[in-house]
Amino acid sequence: MPPESNCILQRNNVKISGKGEKTVMLAHGFGCNQNLWRFILPYLEETYQVVLFDYVGCGNSDFSAYQKDRYEHLEGYALDIIEICDALNLKDIIFVGHSVSCTIGWIVATQRSELFSHLIAVCPSPCFLNIGTEYQGGFDKQDLEQLMQLMNKDYIGWGNYLAPIVMGTDLSPIGPGKDKNEVLVHELLNSFCSTDVTYSRPFARATFFSDYRNILPEIGHPCLILQSSEDSLVAICVGEYTQRHLQNAELKIIEAKGHCLHMTRPMDVFKHMNAFLGKN
């Protein structure tokens, strides 16, 4: 493997596991890291080669490789995926994205369509903003600006506010008798707050203030959208909008709270993935 390929794999903390001729790439969402896929990973490894990674500025990536101009836009994170695929000589893979990584995957699909065969989107949103009466992404711009101000002034407070919304459960103390989701919200909070705000702030702005609805009709890959029935970040109407505007997509609603189905309902995600890939 050329030295530059090794550098990319180290830069993005790439991990490869599993067996099988077909490759699945798992891409984490904002404020997260590859470890949050661990609940579904063992099931995928039985059939597929699985590629995990951290975006530069997240998880255990090489933070010295961070470039401010590149990672102020989602295209910079899309380039991480393209470079990883090229370094590993991957094409025709199954791309599984969570949240903003769904959009990042769509960007890659429009730039390098040969890299993917199928797209699986877990709680996607092409735009988190409310735009007139035509589209309700979930948030008014001024509310998101206030959230960014909180991030700048009180990073821990911002994490304490956002983590319960994302996970769909209260941030109560960990102790005996707590269910899985009540424990996972603390893990998500730790993931949010362990990343230096220097890297998480631009990613947050790129995530919540961007609008990529225009690229949806360009994507012809078979796509599965997995939507939570009670997601405070992404309403079902957003999933329905996304399904209508992609060329070849199906939408499945999973009865669950929160925005992290791969953590709270991994077997449901795996079941729907298998059914979708079996048909396609």
- Active-site residue set: 99, 231, 259
C-beta of residue 265 within 8 angstroms of C-beta of residue 256: yes
Residues 6 or more apart whose CB falls under 8 angstroms from that of 268 comprise 254, 256, 261
The DSSP string of 21-43 is SSEEEEE--TT--GGGGTTTHHH
DSSP code at position 70: G
C-alpha to C-alpha distances, 279 to 27, 202, 222, 275, nearest whole angstrom? 23, 39, 10, 6
Q: CA–CA separation, 101 vs 260, rounded Å? A: 12
Q: Which position has the token pair 């063992």?
A: 42
Task: Report whether 227 contacts 250 (CB < 8 A).
Answer: no
Which residue do the tokens 């060329």 mark?
247
Give the C-alpha separation, 182 to 170, whole Å: 7
For 109, residues 6+ apart whose C-beta sits below 8 A from its C-beta are 95, 115, 116, 119, 218, 219, 221
In whole angstroms, give the CA distance from residue 204 to residue 188. 15
Relative to beta strand 116-122, strand 223-230 is parallel
